[in-house]
Amino acid sequence: MAYKRWIAGLTGMLLAVLGACSPNPKPESKQQDYQETKQMIVDVLHSQEGKKAFQELLKEPDFRNEIIIQDQEFEQVFQKLLTDPKMSKQLETVLAKTEVASNFAKVTQKEQAQLSKQLMKDPEYQKMMMDLWKDPEYTKQQLQLMKSQDYRKQTMKVMEEALDNPMFKEKFSKLMEEAMKKQQQGESGGQKQEGGGQEQQQGEQQS
């Protein structure tokens, strides 16, 4: 991996410096040298010079191409990790942490939205959701969630963001106008029926 080779080169350089300072290292000092080297590498990576060198390295086409290849390898490793039964419990434990779950949700937000759209078109998924909504326990949990302060704040935020969207605002206005017209038509129809009933009643009394 290019990044590892870069670290290896940096390590080699630092080891050369250490070797020059200690021409005859003793066996008992190897562990200490390793810790010192490790700390030195960390310090260099956090220094302005180290960050600048790494940024310049990222600009090189060959390095970036190799990173893309390594990304494919990472994808394969990640898939194996997800399908490994031994790792499932560890993943559940990690994702149970609020901060980790929140960061994971933010990173995969677009992918989750796309997946949700695809699932909504799936008949099997639709049936499963219908069965879930019929479950009294699930409905109870959803109602409790809707009553929470955090849920209400998030809902208000989503509504405010939606109303800031011109297209949504236009559609929302049209829907409100149609609803008002239907309500007015219903009220006028009710008044006509009421008036007709009164006239019929008066006619019966006169007769």
Per-residue confidence of the chain (207 residues) as pLDDT tens digits?
444 454 554 555 445 444 444 445 555 565 666 677 767 776 776 778 777 776 776 677 776 666 555 556 666 766 776 677 777 677 777 777 777 777 777 777 777 778 777 877 888 888 888 888 788 887 888 788 778 887 788 888 878 877 787 887 788 788 888 888 888 887 766 555 555 555 555 555 555
What are the residue ranges spanned by the domains of the chain?
144-183
Q: Give counts: helices (H), strands (E), the chain.
A: 11, 0
- Measured distance CA(68)–CA(66) in Å, rounded: 5
Q: Note whether 18 and 37 are within 8 A (CB).
A: yes
CB 147 within 8 A of CB 155: no
